Chains A and B, each alone.
Chain A
Amino acid sequence: MNIRAFFAILLCKLLRGLSRLLHRGGTAMPGRWALRICPSLPALLARDLKIVAITGTNGKTTSSRIIEEAFSRAGLNYLANRSGANLASGITTELVMNSSLTGRMKKEYAVLECDERASSALFGQLKPQVIVVTNLFRDQLDRYGEVTHTLENIRTAIQGAPEATLCLNADCSLTSSLALDLPNPVVWFGIEKGAMPSRPLPEISDATHCIRCKTAYEYDYVSYGHLGGFRCPHCGYRRHPADVAVTEVVEQRMDGSSILLSLRGEKHLVNVNLPAVYNIYNAAGAVAAVTAMGLPAETAIQALGSFQCGFGRMEQFDLGQAGAKMMLVKNPAGCNQVIEFLQNVKEPFVLAVFLNDRGADGTDVSWIWDADFEGLQALGGRLTEVIVSGDRAGDMRVRMKYAGIPDGRIRVERDYARLVDWIAGQEKPVFLMPTYTAMLELRQAVIHKVGGQEFWEK
């Protein structure tokens, strides 16, 4: 080991210690400094690790938690960047905190969530055994640019790890195009035709035209967003059959789903411990990854029924008489899935939406107009109260008004502590929809009230 790496590790550990003394997370900053001193540090530390890397637009965190649960059930000695710090800095911090001063790793395996933009520099260093690409949707245009640019980033990233097994979403025409010109072995996951009722392609689809020849796609079925049985009538590019295939969505509940999962021909009835269709995809992708790592399918399937995600992803809090559920939203595709979930709530409830426009949320809030808040109208009287909050509460109030919620029924409340106190006195269930930075603050306010763990303690 060279002297630069030694000092990088030392500094990283010191900065982390200092952060914790100051009651801060210190999840990204120490790694940022370490990388400045020794840019090749991740490669050095990852040398003997067996890594699963998870990237894509939506579902990275949930997929990582399922994979972790499987690793933990299998008794593997692993590390994971659980705090959501998924840039090179956060991943480096996590690696350093699991290594000795001389760079010897204390763990054998790693579950690493990688930002879809940061991955380009990382995969070449980490050389993961398995790379999961969950999906690709338009997301925070001001940060990421067009979705095809993100796709190119990921493609370049994977070129740095030609040996890695890819777990690709077969139903996403953008994601699955990665297999067109990469030599990596691929395990496909997806939801089969007829597994659930097909829905119309949404008005705003993030991939209307063939990634190869720019002809408009045709669809056999749509599961959500642009995901489904796509095919190009011109060049023949089409959905690849799935190896890990959801053949039937048996039941969708408020706390999870039951699905029939076909693994290379063998069928399993599986319980997924989080609700909504997008988590069924996360489940299938995680099973693909866990089995690609050589663990038994049984372990992956048990993990689906027992994993806990937390951190604002359909996270349930004992707040108010009927509880509060926090559902992070970041972009139209994910937001539409949450709205669809709300449409299935049978009892009257309160909805609070928190819109921030800080760096990690995306500074451009136009995306709220692409999300189908009009879908809330279908709830009728079940939606008893709408609260808007966050730095851009005003924009959210206007969006709700134009979505058909009378302005008189929309309440603006910017003070999280006061809002949490109010929720604590509610008899009805409360659903909280925050963007990323709003989630961090709101979660702290909720935890302050009801107890729980800070994000870096999970």
Chain B
Amino acid sequence: MELKICHMYPDVLNLYGDRGNVLCMQRRLQWRGIDAAVTKLPIGSAGSLAGYDLVFIGGGQDFEQQVLLEDLHRGKDREIRAAVEDGIPFLTICGGYQMLGHYYETYDGKRCDFIGAVDLVTIGSKKRMIGNYKFRCGQESGGSLVVGFENHSGMTRLGSSVKPLGTVLAGYGNNGEDGTEGVRYQNVFGTYSHGPLLPKNPELCDHILLTALQRKYGRAELQPLDDAAEIAAHDEVAARI
């Protein structure tokens, strides 16, 4: 078995530790004897997403946003919408998560058109939602308890046709108001848990990998791994928040 993983925009969407997620998926496949080929798709690269089994998009700085949007609107936005509708699993984080929505409206009312692949919008706020946080994934996302770190001022509102990834137990999540965190639509997993989400949340990692394997091979199982280190780190942080 093999998963072809696409890491989109590693050159600009790599704000804090995002590549840890790709590394984590790769290792957890390899430890089970499953091949994992990672292809990096930087700004300016052409090509279709149709051949990939999993797409990862991380978060970025405001500075490069304009460069990124120009590249997206040169056709990658269409590619991403098609891939999402085709059921290719996506893991998108922070800026990459917001980008899948319809638009971002800044605090002073300027609107920036995004990809529109997932029914959500983000509105800038003056408040910075920052810190360690935890949430419980919905049943359709495996139901695990996730610990992470969020750092955003955008408040994301989900449309009626999509579900949240989970329910906030401590921290802010999508907007600090409605208790939702992230998004689930088709096989898209979106979250504000920036940086290395997966290494400390191996259950969620395996759930996403399994989603990708099942889509590709019909039936698939993942052998259990020795997750003593991961679980210890997870529990240590969970106990503190």
Contacts and interface: CB of A to CB of B under 8 A. Distances in A.
Contacts of A208: 11-12, 64
A366 B237 CA distance: 13
Given A141-B151, A407-B226, A367 B233 contact: no
A147 B63 CA distance: 9
Interface stretch (A71-79, A284-292, A396-404, A447-455): A396-404
A369 B149 CA distance: 13
A370 B149 contact: no
A355 to B, nearest CB: 11
Interface residues of B, number: 40
Contact of A203 (B10, B15, B61, B229): B10
Contacts, number: 97
A209 B68 CA distance: 11
Given A142-B130, A366-B149, A368-B17, A395 B233 contact: yes
Contacts of B20: 366, 369, 399, 402
B17 A370 contact: yes
Nearest to B228: A407
B66 interface: yes
Contacts of A363: 131-132, 149
Interface in A386-428: 392, 394-395, 397-399, 401-402, 407, 410
B194 interface: yes
A147 to B, nearest CB: 8
A364 B199 contact: no
A86 to B, nearest CB: 23
Contacts of B19: 203-204, 369-370
Contacts of B194: 366
A412 to B, nearest CB: 8
A394 B196 contact: no
A141 B149 CA distance: 12
Interface string B14-39: 11111110011001000000000000
Contacts of B151: 141-142, 364
Interface string A346-375: 000000000000000001111111100000
Interface string B159-194: 000000000000000000000000000000000001
A216 B236 CA distance: 41
Interface of B: 10-12, 14-20, 23-24, 27, 43-44, 61-64, 66-67, 130-132, 149, 151, 194-196, 199-200, 226, 228-230, 232-234, 236-237
Given A208-B11, A394-B229, A402-B24, 20 more contacts: A142-B130, A146-B62, A203-B10, A216-B11, A364-B151, A366-B149, A366-B194, A368-B17, A369-B19, A369-B195, A370-B17, A392-B236, A394-B232, A397-B233, A398-B200, A398-B229, A398-B233, A399-B20, A399-B199, A401-B230
Closest 5 CB pairs of A and B: A366-B195, A369-B20, A369-B17, A366-B17, A394-B233
